[in-house]
Chains A and B, each alone.
Chain A
Amino acid sequence: SQTIHQWPATLVQPVGSPLSLECTVEGTSNPNLYWYRQAAGRGLQLLFYSVGIGQISSEVPQNLSASRPQDRQFILSSKKLLLSDSGFYLCAWRAGQSSGNTIYFGEGSWLTVV
């Protein structure tokens, strides 16, 4: 069966420091991968999606970037964090058409920028 792992689960970073959140998917190949952010008291905002290795699409302009160095690995990064980058970050992957194109989520990463 397919599983998705996301880490770290929680981190506190000072303003101006770098960020790296990592996500890996097991049990599937060539998945569509996504990074969402959930700010406190708000819904989920799609940040990036990827349909293949090295292919990244950004949904909103921001201080973050994403990379997909391997088929099942998706990384969210920042060179210099801002206070407004605080939030709950969720990695997700999409199952194929036979599974109704369902998107499944990781457990999330809490980022607090201080």
Chain B
Amino acid sequence: AQSVTQLGSHVSVSEGALVLLRCNYSSSVPPYLFWYVQYPNQGLQLLLKYTTGATLVKGINGFEAEFKKSETSFHLTKPSAHMSDAAEYFCAVSENGGYNKLIFGAGTRLAVHP
């Protein structure tokens, strides 16, 4: 069965510092991988996704993530944090199947302080 583990329910960084949010997955078949962001009281917005091809994927707002099959990881990074990046981030995995349901991690709340 698929599962997603996000290490660290809360991450705090200074404005301008590197953002690193960790995600590990388990899947019996090559996965599709996603990062979503949720701002307070809003739905989820897609940041980026990996399906096939290049393992380093770039998303919106300066975020990127690298698919590492050997490590079963899909960590999210941003070189320089901005105050507006404060939100909750969810990693998700989907198998290439008939209904493609997403399995989510528990989420990581990112705080950015001046």
Contact = CB atoms under 8 A, between A and B. Distances in A.
* Chain A interface extent, by class: 20 to 34
A43 B44 CA distance: 12
A6 B34 CA distance: 22
B102 A46 contact: yes
B90 A102 contact: no
Q: B-side binding surface: helix, strand, loop or mixed?
A: loop
B77 interface: no
A44 interface: yes
Interface residues of B, number: 24
Given A34-B101, A46-B102, A101-B100, A107 B107 contact: no
Contacts of A51: 98-99
A33 B78 CA distance: 32
B28 interface: no
Given A46-B101, A49-B99, A94-B100, A104 B42 contact: no
Nearest to A57: B99
B101 A106 contact: no
B100 A43 contact: no
A107 B102 contact: no
Given A43-B104, A90-B43, A101-B96, 11 more contacts: A43-B106, A43-B107, A44-B44, A44-B104, A101-B100, A103-B94, A103-B102, A105-B45, A106-B43, A107-B42, A108-B43
15 contacts: A32-B100, A34-B101, A42-B106, A43-B104, A43-B107, A44-B90, A45-B104, A49-B101, A94-B100, A101-B51, A102-B34, A102-B49, A104-B46, A107-B42, A108-B42
